Chains A and B, each alone.
Chain A
């Protein structure tokens, strides 16, 4: 019955990830994104059943009913690679943003959408 604590832990992961991503600071959002990726991986992992030392190999005619499903672990492996590379990219991008835009605060990042953008001309 290791699933229940793992599920609770996963909920905690999601909660902290969402809390961090609601922040205005890029660095906190990035940590939130990293946590979110891990939360999803843990979710997939628990969905594939958590057991010990029962290989998912058909011996005789049947698969032991308590064997873990190996496929979610393959999915997680893919997802880890992807979320790690995305996190790496976004971290570099965040650092570059801090260098170029001189701010880490999203409400101060108004270069793509300037706050004083005047509406288009109303007449000729």
Chain B
């Protein structure tokens, strides 16, 4: 047989343009820095400055990436230069870049806050390396354009979060980690099953390719079963109602910085994946599933906001508020359309910042009053006015009251729900906001306004931690007072999901047969 000369242009994409390296840099940076930190574990004093510098750099890279995709549309880089759909593609659109940037900023805040919260012993067991690997997983999940690769990033962030949750090895942590680990493992296994079936029916793993194939023949493929499987898997990751019980059982057990990072980052990755797969890949199936998603969203909101009322431990109350926020994001998925989805994306950004800030707040409150429990709390108004002011801002923000960042997305969601005459969904959003206001008001009453039940020697609050908390609260206030740029970006992100034409064209430069 004569050897036929291979035309390399049919196998490889031409050399990538220099700016496409931005697509992969966040992941490269996080993995490299995580590995470096793990190798210098004897020089523990270098960990914090290096990790903070790396996360600051990550934020800058993500910001540059967001600027690029917001001005010029989605950007793709294929690993090994194999032509898509054969190589693993990283495709970044506005949604992915926006979430990656917010996640990087939240992680940066966490790394600074950890300086006072995580002691040397826990650092020696690898807090900062785990944080970097966690960010590699989170960034990878937001930026990848390949669904099996998305599964791999899920596992990367999951195994790093295992490391973080057991850090210190206290009894409560082992107990919480057991539930967290087992249930999340089942969730990702469900995800893997769904990916396997998706490959079996579509013959590709590239999300742009899948979206194009399904759009061409929407009714020929058995997508309903698959969409339901994906909904169950991501719902479990995101802690949506019937499968939310692992979250309040585990999120309060690790150090408060770790809880804050989990609350800000992990469940949102689940919601992001749900949006990406259900809205972009299977819009037809989502239309049929929308009433079910609506019911799940309603119950999630109510379960979260009612559950928080029954908690005396502040960290556990926050765990329920995380769940309530997930319900609000899912309601956008149930309503559908660019306005509601944009509002959901906006709410996701708000929730990442505000939930992290609330955990930080509770950490500082406990530092002042000696415990996380409401029963012995009190006297914070007298001992720290600044902390009380920030606390009030954050409680109003999480409840969705103006002028903070929670208000606008909720108002947009209620508007969109009423437009589609889903009055019960709108009512649930408002009712859950009211219940959160009630629980938050009670926290403020008991922990801040009430006189201290016993004389406690007030601990000094670390300045850096307080500054980080104030910065996050200021970000929430700024987004509430000047919501237009964020709302517009979120709208663009939603349009990118609903009409993935530019996303597909960024992967396949020429039309495929």
A: residues with CB less than 8 A from B are 21, 26, 29, 33, 36-37, 40, 43-44, 47, 71-72, 75, 78-79, 82-83, 85-86, 89-90, 93-94, 96-97, 100-101, 106, 109-113, 117-121, 124
Contact = CB atoms under 8 A, between A and B. Distances in A.
Nearest to B446: A121
A90 B186 CA distance: 12
B312 A40 contact: no
B434 interface: no
B182 interface: yes
A7 B446 CA distance: 59
Nearest to A26: B178
A100 B171 contact: yes
A71 B88 CA distance: 12
B375 A120 contact: yes
B192 A40 contact: yes
A80 to B, nearest CB: 11
Given A85-B159, A120-B375, A121-B446, A40 B179 contact: no
B179 A47 contact: no
B169 A40 contact: no
A90 B196 contact: no
Contacts, number: 107
Interface stretch (B27-35, B96-104, B246-254): B246-254
A2 to B, nearest CB: 17
B185 A90 contact: yes
B155 A82 contact: yes
B374 A121 contact: yes
A86 B196 contact: no
A71 B202 CA distance: 13
Contact of A112 (B176, B182, B311, B375): B176
B189 A36 contact: yes
Interface of B: 148, 152, 155, 158-159, 162, 166, 169, 171-179, 181-182, 185-186, 189, 192-193, 195-197, 199-200, 205, 248-250, 252-253, 310-313, 316, 374-375, 442, 445-446, 450
A33 B175 CA distance: 18
A97 to B, nearest CB: 5
A101 B169 CA distance: 11
B196 A124 contact: no
A60 B307 CA distance: 65
B174 A96 contact: yes
A33 B445 CA distance: 45
B446 A120 contact: yes
A117 B175 contact: no
A86 B178 contact: no
Given A101-B171, A124-B450, 10 more contacts: A21-B186, A40-B192, A43-B196, A47-B197, A86-B181, A89-B181, A93-B174, A111-B172, A112-B250, A118-B375
Contact of B189 (A40, A93, A94, A121): A40
Output the residue of A21, A36, A82 with the most chain B CB within 10 A: A82
Contacts of B171: 100-101, 111
A33 B375 contact: no
Nearest to A36: B189
A109 B253 CA distance: 14
A86 B199 contact: no
A47 B174 contact: no
B2 to A, nearest CB: 12
A113 to B, nearest CB: 6
Contacts of A112: 172-173, 175-176, 179, 249-250, 252-253
Nearest to A85: B159
Given A47-B199, A100-B171, A120-B312, A82 B152 contact: yes
Contacts of B196: 40, 43-44, 47, 72, 75
